[in-house]
Chains A and B, each alone.
Chain A
Amino acid sequence: MNELEGMEKDILTEVATIGSGNASMALSKMLDKKFEVKVPLLQLIPVEKISEMMGNPEQLITLVMIKIIGDVPGTMMLLFNPENAIKLAEQLTKRIKNDGILDEADRSALKEVGNILAGSALNALADFLDFTLVQSIPDIATDMLNAVINTITADLGQEAEKVLVLETIFRDEASTVEGKYYLLFDPKSTQAILDAVKKKINQ
């Protein structure tokens, strides 16, 4: 798989929209405020290029990641700049932080956000595509963008030259918190998704 055709792009955009739409609804419920999502950005790119599309190599980020296991293995990630991660953690734990550092309670809260977002997105996708999808426990790291992202893409790069990256920006209405939501699938999983959707269309 080297390029995606027009219809395949449309299908995958729809899949990403279903995932991120359900994830943002879950987040809205969790924090009792409306979150909006942008139309997903979709790219099939070499694993080495993924970190480049996300920002500066040395900028600090906070990232929650969850591995997707099952019929279409992949990875889900929530990416925040550290200030936004702290703001979100404050809202979740109902505490005001002055030290600018994520402590264990904050990290747990953010991991739980990952859990809930992944759960709602994967449930919606599993229903839509008739797949069985299971999620790993969440993990979180704050460090340089390249160090964090390339560790995850290396995991994917063991078995694929290119990876499908679905990126959605989400923010609350007052724009106090903004983050990016990613689904990564290797070409084998991407093909499985496309096949499942095409089968559905032809039914």
Chain B
Amino acid sequence: MESSKIIVRISDFAIGRAPAVLVTQGIGSCVAVCLYEKEQKLGALAHIMLPKTIKITTDGDKVNPLRFVNTALPIVIKELEKEGAVKEGLSAKLVGGAHMFRVLGSAEDDLGAKNIKAAEELLAGVGIKIDNEEVGGNVGRSLEFDLETGVVNVTTKM
């Protein structure tokens, strides 16, 4: 159903229920976190840019908390709980964390790898199980998260 697609931009998230499909396009080193509660067919998709808040040196600028794994995911989980989700019932899928440029660091310690690690650690810390990952490599990805089935369909162009 084309009309029920909700597009999630970078440093943002969306929450929905079946039959909605949550979509995000062109994930590079970012991490897309899909959270799903099967019983209620309730889910969230967050497209996060960076692992954790680093002090911003710019004077007076307010930084979007949805840019960072450590501040974005607690917000998303809280919003899901407001919608009636129970943390124990949630499962997660991670997509992204690609290594796009060698100039920006090695595959083991660039932002892509750090984003995945940060998401894994945060989810483990709050007791949400990750049941699938499509991460790393050097390719950009798009995804569609079907809240009817919980299936995350990942596509690439290269």
**What residues make up the interface of A, taking CB atoms closer than 8 Å to B?**
1-2, 46-48, 51-52, 57-58, 60, 65-67, 136-139, 141-155, 157-162, 186-188
**Contact status A148-B103, CB under 8 Å:** no
Minimum C-beta distance from A144 to chain B (A): 4
For the A-B complex with A58-B142, A153-B49 known, give 14 more contacts whose Cβ atoms are closer than 8 Å: A2-B60, A48-B11, A48-B67, A57-B26, A58-B157, A136-B103, A137-B103, A147-B26, A147-B100, A149-B28, A150-B49, A158-B111, A159-B56, A161-B64
> Does B3 sit within 8 A of A, measured CB to CB?
no
> Looking across the interface, which residue of chain B has its beta carbon closest to that of A143?
B140
The interface on chain B, measured as residues whose beta carbon lies within 8 A of the other chain's beta carbons, has a size of 38
**What residues make up the interface of B, taking CB atoms closer than 8 Å to A?**
9-11, 25-30, 49-50, 54-64, 67, 98, 100-104, 111-112, 138-142, 157-158
Q: A57-B25, A143-B139, A151-B111 are in contact. Are A161 and B104 (CB under 8 A)?
A: no
**Contact status A161-B100, CB under 8 Å:** no
**Contact status A160-B58, CB under 8 Å:** yes
> Looking across the interface, which residue of chain B has its beta carbon closest to that of A186?
B58
Task: Identify the 7 closest CB pairs spanning chains A and B, nearest first.
Answer: A146-B26, A147-B140, A147-B28, A151-B28, A161-B61, A57-B25, A144-B26
Minimum C-beta distance from B102 to chain A (A): 6
Report how far A152 CA is from B141 CA in the complex, Å. Answer: 16
Cβ 8 A contact of B157, one of A48, A60, A151, A186: A60
**Contact status B140-A144, CB under 8 Å:** yes
The residue in A46, A157, A160 that gathers the most chain B C-beta atoms within 10 A of its C-beta is A157
> A162 to chain B: which residues have CB within 8 Å?
58, 61
A sample of 5 cross-chain residue pairs with beta-carbon separation below 8 angstroms, ordered by A number, consists of: A141-B138, A150-B10, A157-B67, A160-B61, A161-B58
Cβ 8 A contact of B49, one of A136, A137, A154: A154
> B29 to chain A: which residues have CB within 8 Å?
150-151, 154
> Looking across the interface, which residue of chain A has its beta carbon closest to that of B63?
A161
The residue in B28, B57, B64 that gathers the most chain A C-beta atoms within 10 A of its C-beta is B28
Minimum C-beta distance from B64 to chain A (A): 7
> A148 to chain B: which residues have CB within 8 Å?
26, 28, 100, 140
Q: A1-B59, A158-B50, A186-B58 are in contact. Are A146 and B25 (CB under 8 A)?
A: yes
> B54 to chain A: which residues have CB within 8 Å?
158-159
> A151 to chain B: which residues have CB within 8 Å?
28-30, 98, 100-101, 104, 111-112
**Contact status A154-B56, CB under 8 Å:** no
Report how far A104 CA is from B104 CA in the complex, Å. Answer: 20
> Looking across the interface, which residue of chain B has its beta carbon closest to that of A161?
B61
**Contact status A143-B158, CB under 8 Å:** yes
> B25 to chain A: which residues have CB within 8 Å?
57-58, 144, 146
**Contact status B111-A155, CB under 8 Å:** yes
> Looking across the interface, which residue of chain A has its beta carbon closest to that of B66?
A48
> B111 to chain A: which residues have CB within 8 Å?
151, 154-155, 158
> Looking across the interface, which residue of chain B has its beta carbon closest to that of A145?
B26
The residue in A136, A143, A153 that gathers the most chain B C-beta atoms within 10 A of its C-beta is A143
**Contact status B27-A147, CB under 8 Å:** yes
